[in-house]
Each structure stands twice: as C-alpha cells, then as structure tokens.
Amino acid sequence: MNTTLLNQCSGNIFTSPQQLLQFIQRLEQDQQFIQHVSSSCETDCNLTYQLSHLAQSTSLNTVSTPQLGARHFSRLTRCYYCNNHGHFSRCCLERPKRTTRKSNPSLIYAHVFINNRKTRVQLDSGAEYSFITLAALSKIRHSQILPSKAVAHLADTSTLLPLLGEVRLHIRLNDTVTPITALVVKHLNSDFILGSDWFFCTGARIEYDRHQVPVRSYNGRSSAPFDKHIDSLALAVKLINSITVPPREVSIIQAKVDISSAKAAYFYPDADFYNVNLFRLFQQC
C-alpha cells in the first residue's frame, strides 16, 4: 500500500463522505496493483522453472528437425557442380579430387656454369665419375679430349659404358669454382652428370626438404635451388644381347638403360614401332 497515503490519513478525521470515498478508492487501487505484481512474479518463476527443466532433460543430439523443415532445407540446398538438390558442391561425390603432381626425387637437376656457360646438370651422388656427352661438350669451349683409363659401368654394375676420353672442366656454382675431370661419352640420359667426385670436392649435400644443393664457399656455404621443370625423362632401352624371336613364340629379354638410380621406371614401346603388327611387346615387372 502507498505509505504516503497512510501517513496523510493516519490521525485524521474524515469530515465528509467524499474524503472517505476517495480514501477507499485509493486503497482498492493499491491492493489491485499489489495483486497484479505478485501474480506476474509467480508466472515468470513457473515459466523459468519449466524452461530450465526442459533444457536439462533434452539433449542437443536428440532434437529432431520437423519433416517440413527438412524438405525445405533439401529444396534450398543445391549443388553447383552436379546441379542436384540436397547437398553442397564441396560435398559432391561427383566432383573430382584434387591431385598434387610430385616430381621424381631421384632425378635432381640444377643450373651451374661449365667453363662460363650456363648448363643444366643432373646431380647423382651414386655415380662414381662425372660424365658429359659429346654433343654437350661441342657447345662449350674446352681443352683437348685426352684418353682415359677409367672404367665406367651402368646401374647394373656389369654393362660397360663406352668412353671417348676425358676432359678438364671448371664447374662454377655461385661463387664456388671447382675443377673436375669429366668422362666423355657419346650417349647418356643427361647432357651432363655431376658425380661423387664433385660432391667430394665441394662438400655438396642434397637437401630434399629445402629443394636445394648447398656447397662450401668462401663465405661459408652457398646453395643452388633444384630445377623443378623436370618430372620425367625418356631414355632409350637397349638389348644387352642380340636375340632372334621365332614366329609365334614369346621370349624374355634383358635390356639396359643409361641411368644409375631412379625411384620408378616404366617401359612402353615407341608408337610408330608398336603400330607395326609384326609382333607384340609385353612388360614384365
């Protein structure tokens, strides 16, 4: 009840019925207001209790979407790849997966200067010597080709590699100049191969994680990046021994290739040669 009204009316004598009527009306209004406020508080408390009890008893995983909402969702979602409804394009099964093409880590190439001419060379720490083809040697200035007493084998360690001689060359990688003796051959899988002799003289290492080849230099160590423009290499496959295949028969032959190391090798016949239906070649792994 309004305390101000009680203080004003206490100890007073109502001299007229109008004053008493006004007092009673104000008293009734105050009681109605108090009842309205108390009933609103009880309703809010009950509603809060019901909501909290429902939240505790209901798990998020058990909330089911109405069927009407599911149909509405499937109708709105449309894949922009297959143009079907019910899923997004990132979850489409018909969308091709992304494939990353990785280069063959066994074939490592870098750019160096051979007698002041920039050349792409293959780095092969498994090769005992450094090799250069006669065609690549003819493009640079070089000293006289001298006879060589070295003996070189292919990767099978049994087939001899014919040598034309040896030549003295200067290899420059950044500020490091290294004189080496390279063996001259007629045909090879690469124009120039830097072997273990160059690795030993320069202290070179192959860092696969950084894609570079560091060597000793006057300022500590300097490095050259890999040439990443090589992913595969086509080589000529040659017979080790001559063989005659009789008609309508199958023969297993031994072949050789001019490479010392490779992670994976695949053989396929020449297209022009394979179109001649004289015989058929099979690959045996």
Tokens read off for 46? 């009950």
pLDDT tens figures, 14-65? 667 777 777 777 777 777 766 665 665 555 555 555 545 544 444 444 444 4
pLDDT of residue 102: 46
Tokens read off for 18? 């109008």
Beta strands in the chain (DSSP E): 108-114, 117-123, 130-133, 165-173, 176-185, 192-194, 212-217, 220-225, 238-239, 255-256
pLDDT of residue 57: 47
pLDDT of residue 215: 87
Domain parsing of the chain, residue ranges: 67-97, 108-225
| Overall pTM > 0.85 | no
pLDDT of residue 87: 73
Q: Is the pLDDT confidence value at 173 over 70?
A: yes
Say which residues have a Cβ less than 8 Å from residue 214's Cβ, sequence separation at least 6.
Answer: 204, 205, 207, 221, 222, 223
pLDDT tens figures, 175-214? 888 899 999 988 877 888 888 889 988 888 888 888 888 8
Q: For domain 108-225, which CATH number applies: 3.20.20.20, 1.10.760.10, 2.40.70.10, 2.170.150.20?
A: 2.40.70.10
Q: Is the pLDDT confidence value at 69 over 80?
A: no
Lowest-pLDDT range, 39-43, 93-97, 110-114, 232-236?
39-43
pLDDT of residue 67: 47
Q: How far apart are CA 160 and CA 139, in angstroms?
A: 26
Residue 112 has a CB neighbour count (10 Å cut-off) of: 22
* 178 φ, ψ (degrees, to nearest 5): -130, 120
Task: Write the CA distances from 265 to 59, 104, 107, 256, 285, integer angstroms.
Answer: 58, 10, 12, 12, 10
